[in-house]
């Protein structure tokens, strides 16, 4: 399942993040790439321990915890601390697949990468190119979202970032270990949850159908959650 999650950050929060990112010291993006990814990766990145990365990362994690659409779709168990990259002057990231397991440097914890996420800090008109192109069984999709919006997709997908030929594309990227490992099961739960919420609005949460379907949702989640 691939999902556009709008307005994770509002305009004021985006502005705050952009000011911090402008004053940060960027390094070669290959520092966090695996062996295969490093051969395709050409961008800039904030060091994981940079104060700006920690401050903005905490802001993002707090915003995600309050975003009902993200929580419903991802069912997050663990979230890898957000990282930050910048593409400019023709930089790109060739076709690759994300590592299955990431280790959090600060804690040593391991995160299984069920889902990948990219949160955009620049408006689409501010740069040319830079589309995130994701390939999977559901087809090939080109993504370029408004500032503050996030794209969520299976980490098992092949994906790339097209060259940025004008301006700069600045974003955050991170991974989620879901309570439900299987993408098809998460998709079914998300569809069911969305339908229940719509039914609640139309008939009320105390309607017998809403109550029964809510029970089905939680029984499936209880069966599939790890």
Model pLDDT for residues 55-110, shown as the tens digit of each residue: 999 999 999 999 999 999 999 999 999 999 999 999 999 999 999 999 999 899 99
| CATH number assigned to the domain comprising residue 128 | 2.60.120.620
Query: Are 189 and 168 in the same domain?
Result: no
Q: Is the predicted pLDDT of residue 31 greater than 80, yes or no?
A: no
Residue (of 46, 59, 66) closest to 12 by Cα position = 59
* 163 and 196 share one domain: no
Task: Give the number of domains in the chain.
Answer: 2
Same domain for 213 and 130, yes or no, is no
Least Cα distance to 168 among 6, 22, 34, 10 occurs for 22
Angle ∠(29,35,39) on CA atoms, nearest 5: 60
Q: Over the stretch 143-159, which tens digit does the pLDDT of each residue have?
A: 999 999 999 999 999 99
Statement: residue 11 has pLDDT above 70? yes
Same domain, 119 and 210: no
Please indicate, yes or no, whether residues 145 and 201 belong to a single structural domain of this protein. no
Q: Are residues 126 and 113 in the same domain?
A: yes
Containing structural domain, residue 215: 183-224
Please indicate, yes or no, whether residues 213 and 103 belong to a single structural domain of this protein.
no
Known binding residue 169? Answer is: yes
96 is in an annotated binding site: yes
Cα 209 to Cα 32, 204, 206: the distances in Å are 48, 10, 8
Residue bearing tokens 């999709």: 141
- In this structure, the answer to whether residues 209 and 113 fall within a common structural domain is no
Tell whether 61 and 79 lie within a shared domain.
yes
């Amino acid at each position: 399942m691939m999902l556009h999650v709008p307005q994770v950050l509002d305009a004021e929060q985006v502005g705050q993040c952009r000011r911090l990112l402008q004053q940060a010291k960027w390094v070669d993006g290959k520092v966090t790439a695996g062996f295969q990814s490093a051969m395709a990766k050409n961008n800039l990145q904030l060091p994981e321990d940079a104060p700006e990365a920690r401050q903005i990362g905490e802001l993002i994690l707090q915003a995600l915890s309050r975003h009902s659409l993200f929580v419903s779709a991802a069912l997050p168990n663990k979230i890898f601390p957000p990282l930050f990259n910048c593409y400019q002057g023709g930089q790109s990231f060739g076709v690759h697949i994300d590592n299955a397991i990431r280790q959090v440097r600060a804690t040593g914890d391991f995160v299984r990468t069920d889902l990948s996420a990219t949160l955009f800090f620049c408006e689409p008109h501010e740069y040319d190119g830079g589309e995130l192109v994701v390939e999977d069984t559901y087809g090939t999709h080109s993504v370029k979202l408004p500032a503050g919006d996030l794209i969520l997709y299976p980490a098992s997908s092949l994906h790339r970032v097209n060259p940025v030929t004008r301006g700069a594309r600045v974003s955050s990227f991170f991974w989620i270990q879901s309570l439900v490992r299987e993408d098809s099961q998460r998709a079914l739960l998300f569809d069911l949850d969305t339908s229940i919420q719509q039914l609640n609005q139309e008939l009320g949460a105390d309607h017998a159908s809403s109550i029964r379907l809510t029970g089905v949702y939680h029984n499936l989640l209880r069966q599939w959650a790890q």
